[in-house]
Structure 1
């Protein structure tokens, strides 16, 4: 089958690689390259790098709504378009063009967590499982009919990164299954239940602030769901203190207020009071300093007893 692939980040690469093993990739659409935050050097998207390394034509249109972009699609003449974390809305003329339509790999169990940050959101919400949905693309965001799903537990030790890496492999495998079914004419569709729909907007910096007045479990899930990106943080002496990992302490401190440094545990880190218990800061990054372990933060006197993180 002739496939036009649309994708941008590392999450999309395993899907592209699996497709290339069995099908002809006639072209790749990926987002425009951006300068690196350090030094301003232009950095290729992971999908573009894959395309260049495997001699696949790569296109980076600023907009999918122009006549020029549609002419490229027509010239490539794909039987199917596959979208994996592309980051752009697909217009109807492109949706309607391929023989077999256009499908998407979305990193949640739809209709839960439609939108831009479903992996973070599933961990932060305390979900016990999540997965990947292969779906038809519709005009409304992530609202198309479901073709296949792949499910995985969310483990206590999972962070955004570990879950992301597991889901990108599950997504690639389920995508191949879905494309095979589409080609054979055996794919079944299921309409999404609109009553179960939830949305996730892209996280802004203000969304990453830790609320210490929440429960031990909520704070734990929030921090690991933000690790390593976009990163949970708090304020200490008017400076940003990034928190990458905490451990649930299972101890209630009667005195003190939420966010207060109420203890330190040798070999682990400082203890912060939260709504129904406390958490141990096991991996932190003070502003303009390197990432350090909780134990090193004690040795370096990064915090003091009685200080309040805001």
Structure 2
């Protein structure tokens, strides 16, 4: 029915490419598919979506979405004008990866790392990139701290009894720092794990921010995960509910194991490792052995 009633450029490829929209290359590309100018424009647009108005928020899309008008009649001029916990963490992790790769590969000949050309920056622009990303991370940390510091309960979930709890399970926020008040699939439990991973990664790149800014916030998410990693959650597409979705399990395990390595307090290290092992106990024995071996 989808092919009969919905038109899209992707569907035009279905006849030629089987059941996939993706056309496989016969061999790896010898050069990046986009020019340096195109990549620079991509990053310019990407970075316009982070640290919105200096608030630390990340916006999914600052403009109109014509596709939603065509398919669903949604006329809202800014349907994605919100801060999503998941999207924000993944977007800022991408920025951190850009800093890491630019630093690591700037001295390599282009011929040695063709797939990384889009991450390369000149020696003169790398300090500015680091400075800009650091400012974004500091603003984001302040945004997260404000979420944790809220005292007025939005009341979107009957099971949540305090505004402090909403910081962990609310997926969608307005730019005044309040949860979206409309109907939505709640709770979503991958947010704390993704946020903790982001904050720990940022602490590795900007170690001077660890103690006062980043680690206390990451620890809040990790401590919440220890107690709530089995909570029922909405899935990625916000359609169904379960307590053990693969995506949630993977990112929660990753956060707890990384927290175990990052923490210096032996009690915290043990606590996060115990939670990771408890979360992974239903996975294959070989996988559990690998986690325990790397984390002990």
Q: After TM superposition, is the score higher than 0.5?
A: no
TM-score by length of 1: 0.25
Greater gyration radius: 1
TM-score by length of 2: 0.26
Pick the structure with more helix per residue. Answer: 2
Pick the structure with more strand per residue. Answer: 1
